[in-house]
Structure 1
Amino acid sequence: MLVYESTEQLLAEPPARRYLHTILLTALRDKAERVEVRFMEGEGALYYRVKGSDWELTPPPDDLYPQLKDAVREAARLVQPDRPDTTILFGVPDARFEPMEVGWLTYQLGGYWVDIVARIDPREPYGYIRLDIDDPEEFADAAGDALEAYAATLTGEEEPAEPAS
């Protein structure tokens, strides 16, 4: 479970977990149905889908993207299946089968609870994290308020009211 209570609590989170919060808050504010972080050698890419259109966002910071899979694993309830004995007949020499990790990430935002389907492709240094959100419109206002409060804290401005419960 990932819980947003206040900007102070968010600032106290470890950097990868705080970044995960901001990804989810931004996606909820923008009514995104899907968030995806794709991992490449030495870098990551961040996308989300709004009303059937995919948007590429500013990539995760270089020091954080390698930690995001573990941050999702800590926050979500995932099934990590055993790797079956499989012979890979094509592709990269010494390749092995890496089954997907699938489960739920419950996000608590004020008095709102959002269940998000979480999928992790565990291949390193590649793979991806995919988060699917049902009915994101319900949480847009609360997420926008939380992001506004967080941004005000980071810029040193007067903090607006916290999201309604």
Structure 2
Amino acid sequence: MLRYVSAEQLLAEPSAHRYLHVLILTALQDGASRLELRYTLDGVVPYYRLEERDWELAPPPPLVAEQLKETVRQVSRLVTPERPDTTVLVGPPEGRYEPLQAGWLTYELQGRWLDLRVYIDPREPFGVMRFDIEGASEFSSAAQAALRDYAEQLAALQDSISAPEETLP
């Protein structure tokens, strides 16, 4: 389960959790039906689907990208099917078949819960994580308010960090 309580709570979360929150909140705000994180040679490329079109989002920093699959596994309820005894005909000699992990991630926003279907392609370092979202539009205004509060907190934090120290007379 992933829970958004306040912007202060979100700032206290680890970076990968914070990034996942922002992705989900952005998708909810815009009414997306799907969120995907595609792993490539260049890192993770996040997309969300809105009105049958994919829109690319800002990629995470490399350290966060490394932690995302494990973070999603921690906050989701997943079923990992047993790997069938299959012979891999194409690929490296040690190649093996890895079935998708599937389940759901429960997201709580302002006391309301939303279940996102989660699919994880476990192949490393590539693969994809997909979140199917139903009813995002019902959470649009709450997600927008949460993102606005978070942006204000980040701006205030940035201002306090970059403010010059006052010198004593």
TM superposition score normalised by structure 2: 0.89
- Structure 1: give runs of 5+ residues left out of the alignment: 158-165
Alpha-carbon distance between aligned partners in 1 of 2:92 and 2:32, rounded to the nearest angstrom: 35
Alpha-carbon distance between aligned partners in 2 of 1:8 and 1:59, rounded to the nearest angstrom: 23
Structure 2 counterpart of 1:123, one-letter code:
R
Percent identity of equivalent pairs: 53
Q: Which residue matches 1:101? A: 101
Structure 1 stretch displaced more, 118-127 or 78-87: 78-87
- Structure 2: give runs of 5+ residues left out of the alignment: 158-169
1:68-125 deviation per Cα after TM superposition (whole angstroms, max 9, x unaligned)? 1111111110001122221101233321101100001000001221110001001000
Structure 1 counterpart of 2:36, one-letter code:
E
Q: Which residue matches 1:116? A: 116
Structure 2 counterpart of 1:25, one-letter code:
L
Instruction: State how many pairs are aligned.
Output: 157
Structure 2 counterpart of 1:10, one-letter code:
L
Structure 1 counterpart of 2:103, one-letter code:
G
Structure 1 stretch displaced more, 28-37 or 75-84: 75-84
Alpha-carbon distance between aligned partners in 1 of 2:5 and 2:111, rounded to the nearest angstrom: 9
Structure 2 counterpart of 1:7, one-letter code:
A
Alpha-carbon distance between aligned partners in 2 of 1:56 and 1:67, rounded to the nearest angstrom: 20
**1:150 equivalent in alignment to 2:150:** yes
Alpha-carbon distance between aligned partners in 2 of 1:101 and 1:132, rounded to the nearest angstrom: 14
Q: Which residue matches 1:83? A: 83
Alpha-carbon distance between aligned partners in 2 of 1:137 and 1:93, rounded to the nearest angstrom: 47
Match of 1:88, SS state, is: coil
Alpha-carbon distance between aligned partners in 1 of 2:112 and 2:105, rounded to the nearest angstrom: 14
Q: Which residue matches 1:92? A: 92
Structure 1 counterpart of 2:86, one-letter code:
T
| CA radius of gyration, larger in | 2
Q: What is the deviation of 1:135?
A: 1.4
Q: Which residue matches 2:126? A: 126
Structure 1 stretch displaced more, 121-130 or 61-70: 61-70
Alpha-carbon distance between aligned partners in 2 of 1:138 and 1:149, rounded to the nearest angstrom: 19
Match of 2:63, SS state, is: coil
Match of 1:118, SS state, is: strand
RMSD in angstroms over aligned alpha carbons?
1.2
Alpha-carbon distance between aligned partners in 1 of 2:29 and 2:156, rounded to the nearest angstrom: 22
- Greater share of helix: 2
